[in-house]
Amino acid sequence: MTAYVISDSGTMLARSMRRMRRYPSLTLFVAGMPVVLLLLFVYVFGGALGSGLGVPGGGRDAYVNYIVPGVLVFAVAGAAQGTAISVAMDMTAGIVARFRTMAIARSAVLAGHVIGAVLQTLLAIAIVLAVAVVIGFRPTTGPGEWMAAVGLLTLTAIAITWVAVALGMSANSVETASNSPMILILLPFLSSAFVPTQSMPGPLAWFAENQPFTPIIETLRGLFFGSPIGNDGLVAVAWCVAITVGAVLWSLRLYDRDPSRYLTARS
């Protein structure tokens, strides 16, 4: 059976991609939410917030460049909700029970979900970046830094997607699955994504500086605009790896768990 891990994962990935095409509203939602947030923050709050950044020039134009790394991370976190919902829908459907009774690689079902969701998230990121460039996002660095930024976003997407898969599987219903990732959506607001952490009150500032999203966002800013990254890069990668390992272990345990709990209570 293990000889077929890759081929089974490929089949499951093809299945996930086809489901995404059949259910495009979820993909649109994944890309749409961060775009709306970007426009809202830039055009409604941007004038005032930009002046508070304390950078030369200030104003809306400076704020676009400040906020885009945060919105990209928000896009990753926001995609988690869609992933959790589709995993929960899939697990409550009988087809996954069928997969379990077939001689296919156990990890293939999860791999299909994760790779599909990461690709979906990267698509959303591309859309957000395109909109950002249109409204004035102007990174100042070269292709190497761009590659590194995309690499870090991919690592972040992998980590958050595994968390979303675990949340989707631990949910007893699709409703729970759509609610539990809200914490992931809230976290970017409590980071340096939209305003500098120094502007927050003491305990909140401490939390914002020490939660995983802030080093990721600060690293992206450094990569896009050449500001000093310091050890943020290392911390960001460490967070991604740690979250991924934890969430993979959690997901596999949930997948091996008694599946009868997914099915409605019966004998």
Partner 1 sequence: MNGRSAGDTAAIEVRGLRKSYGEHVVLDGIDFEVAAGTVFALLGPNGAGKTTTVQILSTLIPADGGEVRVAGHDVANNADDVRHAIGVTGQVSAVDGLFTGAENLRLMASLLHLGRAEASAKVQGLLEQFELVDAADKPASTYSGGMRRRLDLAMTLMGDPQIIFLDEPTTGLDPRSRRTMWQIVRELVSRGVTILLTTQYLEEADRLAGRIALLDEGKIIASGTPAELKRLVSGGSVRLQFPDEQELDRAARALGGTRDEESFALRVSSATDPRSLRSLLDQLDREHIHVDGLSTEAADLDDVFLALTSGEARRSRAAQSPEGATQANERITVQ
Binding residues for partner 1, per CB under 8 A?
Answer: 1, 4, 7-8, 11, 14-15, 18-19, 22-23, 93-95, 97-104, 258-260, 263-264, 266-267
CB of 20 to partner 1, least distance (A): 10
Q: What is the distance between the alpha carbons of residues 61 and 121, in angstroms, rounded to a whole number?
A: 26
Contacts of 97 (CB under 8 A, 6+ apart): 259, 262, 263
> Least distance in Å: CB of 96 to partner 1?
8
Nearest distance from C-beta of residue 11 to partner 1, angstroms: 4
Of 13 and 80, which CB lies nearer to partner 1 in the complex structure? 13
How far, in Å, CA of 62 to CA of 190, rounded?
A: 21
Question: How many other CB atoms are there within 10 angstroms of residue 128's CB atom?
Answer: 24
Q: Which is nearer to partner 1, 7 or 173 (CB)?
A: 7
Q: How many residues does the chain have?
A: 267
Give the Cα separation of 111 and 117 in Å (integer): 10
The residue among 19 and 60 lying less far from partner 1, judged by its C-beta, is: 19
- Please check whether residue 222 is in contact with residue 69, taking contact to mean a CB–CB distance below 8 angstroms: no
Give me the least distance between CB of 109 and partner 1, in Å please.
10
Closest to partner 1 by CB, 15 or 60: 15
